[in-house]
């Protein structure tokens, strides 16, 4: 049986929610990952150091005792964030601030309305060496939803990078050839995460045969040429600039399957297995370890995890649903057989 042993991976983009829902999903990530970068878009959002440290305690309390797992904390960038907030965050071990353009995605109501008004805050991030993470979409209603990431790169990020060339930026969950190109063209201070769904699926999966709500996420899945561009990016000459970030985003089944289904794909329970399947199909299984376990750690200035994880080429069937607080969540590839498993 084919096996693959890699340094234990990290997930640099995770939504854990809170309360009983958090207790349900943390173990899935902790079972696979050495570390996870925790997103701050709760209700209310995590905007202060004190809130982040309390949230970290809740995550640690939900982590199984046998999992040496570390949550990495972020703060939610708002119009009211100040350079002093950045200095306090750095001193407390917060690793990044997350940009949610107001109205762009789940729980983004408190997000930024004009990023250019926050240039002093971004300059302080660059000075402190704290990372700037972007949900890279414009929210102009005149811009087609399939074009919002590409427009964000041109209108917002190219000017920001020109004005603050030493700002350390992660373009989160990129979905387009344009975003991958900007990462490849930029200096070593710019990187990106890529999700399993954007590497596996195109918009036909979401729309052909009826709208399929469990494929709906933001940024939305794009056309096939963009999917191919992402696979090329994570396996190509500039692959060191891309790393694992699932954007795993659980929602109760009833909230996804209704007249206004919410955005998010829950991939945490089989994340590394899905990436193995993707890299193997691309003929690049030898590059999985760098993507999953090395590139992100290096970019964040962290040591590689001291443990390893072994995958086996052994099919497993993904459950139709799993517990999520007092409800259930439908995982990515629910009911399907995937090709890899984690060795017990």
What is the C-alpha to C-alpha distance for residues 112 and 138, in angstroms, rounded to an integer? 11
User: Would residue 247 show up in a list of annotated catalytic residues for this protein?
Assistant: yes
Is 314 annotated to bind ligand?
Answer: no
Is 189 annotated to bind ligand?
Answer: no
Is 218 annotated to bind ligand?
Answer: yes
Is 294 annotated to bind ligand?
Answer: no
Is 226 annotated to bind ligand?
Answer: no
114, 188, 237, 247: which is the annotated catalytic residue? 247
Whole-number Cα distances in Å, 318 to 5, 204, 327, 332, 340: 22, 22, 18, 8, 11
Is 18 annotated to bind ligand?
Answer: no
* Crossing angle between the packed helical segments 271-281 and 19-32, to the nearest 10 degrees: 50
Is 173 annotated to bind ligand?
Answer: yes
Quickly tell me which residue has 């960038």 as its tokens: 77
* Crossing angle between the packed helical segments 83-91 and 119-128, to the nearest 10 degrees: 30
Is 240 annotated to bind ligand?
Answer: no
What is the C-alpha to C-alpha distance for residues 76 and 96, in angstroms, rounded to an integer? 9
Is 107 annotated to bind ligand?
Answer: no
What is the C-alpha to C-alpha distance for residues 205 and 211, in angstroms, rounded to an integer? 9
- Cβ-based burial of 144 (10 A; exposed 0-12, middle 13-18, buried ≥19): exposed
What is the C-alpha to C-alpha distance for residues 112 and 232, in angstroms, rounded to an integer? 32
Is 241 annotated to bind ligand?
Answer: no
Is 17 annotated to bind ligand?
Answer: yes
Is 243 annotated to bind ligand?
Answer: no
Residue list for the binding site for substrate: 15-17, 41, 135, 218, 251, 263
Residue list for the binding site: 13, 15-17, 41, 98, 135, 173, 218, 247, 251, 263
Catalytic residues: 247
Residue list for the binding site for Zn(2+): 13, 15, 98, 135, 173, 247
């Amino acid at each position: 049986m084919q096996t693959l042993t890699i340094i234990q991976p990290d997930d640099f983009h995770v939504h854990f929610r809170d309360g009983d829902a958090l207790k349900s999903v943390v173990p899935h990530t902790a079972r696979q990952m050495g570390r996870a970068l925790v997103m701050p878009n709760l209700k209310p959002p995590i905007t202060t150091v004190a809130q982040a440290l309390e949230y970290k305690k809740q995550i640690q309390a939900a982590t199984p005792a046998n999992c040496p797992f570390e949550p990495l904390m972020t703060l939610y960038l708002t119009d009211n964030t100040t350079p002093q907030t950045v200095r306090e965050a750095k001193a407390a071990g917060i690793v990044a601030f997350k940009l949610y353009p107001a109205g762009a995605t789940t729980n983004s109501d408190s997000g930024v309305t004009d990023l250019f008004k926050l240039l002093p805050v971004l300059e302080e991030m660059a000075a402190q060496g704290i990372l700037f993470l972007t949900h890279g979409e414009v929210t102009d209603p005149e811009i087609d939803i399939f074009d919002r990431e590409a427009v964000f790169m041109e209108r917002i990020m190219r000017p920001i990078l020109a004005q603050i060339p030493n700002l350390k930026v992660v373009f989160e969950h990129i979905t387009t050839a344009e975003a991958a190109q900007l990462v490849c063209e930029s200096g070593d201070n710019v990187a990106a995460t890529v999700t399993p769904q954007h590497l596996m699926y195109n918009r036909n999966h979401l729309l052909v045969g009826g709208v399929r709500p469990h494929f709906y996420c933001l940024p939305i899945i794009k056309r096939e040429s963009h999917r191919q561009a992402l696979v090329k990016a994570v396996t190509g000459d500039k692959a060191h600039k891309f790393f694992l970030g699932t954007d795993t985003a659980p929602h109760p089944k009833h909230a996804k399957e209704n007249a206004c289904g919410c955005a998010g794909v829950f991939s945490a329970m089989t994340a590394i297995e899905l990436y193995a399947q993707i890299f193997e199909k691309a003929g690049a299984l030898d590059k999985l370890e760098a993507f999953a376990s090395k590139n992100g750690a290096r970019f964040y200035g962290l040591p590689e995890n001291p443990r390893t994880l072994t995958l086996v080429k052994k099919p497993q069937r993904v459950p139709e649903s799993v517990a999520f607080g007092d409800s259930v969540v439908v995982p990515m590839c629910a009911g399907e057989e995937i090709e890899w498993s984690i060795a017990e």
